[in-house]
Amino acid sequence: MSLDEIRKKVIFHNSVDVWIATCSEKNSDWTNPEDYKKFIAHLLKNNLNLKAFNLCAHEAGATEDEKVKFTETLAETKEDPNSLTYTIKLNDAALDIIRSYSI
């Protein structure tokens, strides 16, 4: 699902779903937690307004084993701000920052 498609559903999304949508648009694999951490570092560096929260795999709608494993791996390194899950408001400025990330 693309960023534009998830934006139409609701304004705020969790960063894992935004990461997956970003990778989908760029035809890239989303399952590497280290790549997710680089993505979050990019968003933080560009001062995107992010609100950290604890995301349980079930809250993320994770029924796929890969997504559950991914979120559990991130939770193991919760002291690293780049491994946290955030709420992101998908407005035009946020989409520009998100899409400027090079995978």
The string of pLDDT tens digits covering residues 38-56 is: 999 999 999 999 998 876 5
CA atoms within 13 A on the CB side of 82: 12
Instruction: For residue 90, give both structure tokens.
Output: 């998908």
pLDDT > 90: percent of the chain = 56
Q: Which of 2, 37, 8 is closest to 22 using CA atoms?
A: 2
Amino acid at 84: L
> CB–CB of 88/12 below 8 Å?
yes
> CB–CB of 43/50 below 8 Å?
yes
Query: How large is the average pLDDT for residues 49-78?
Result: 74
Rounded Cα gap, residues 11 and 51, in angstroms: 14
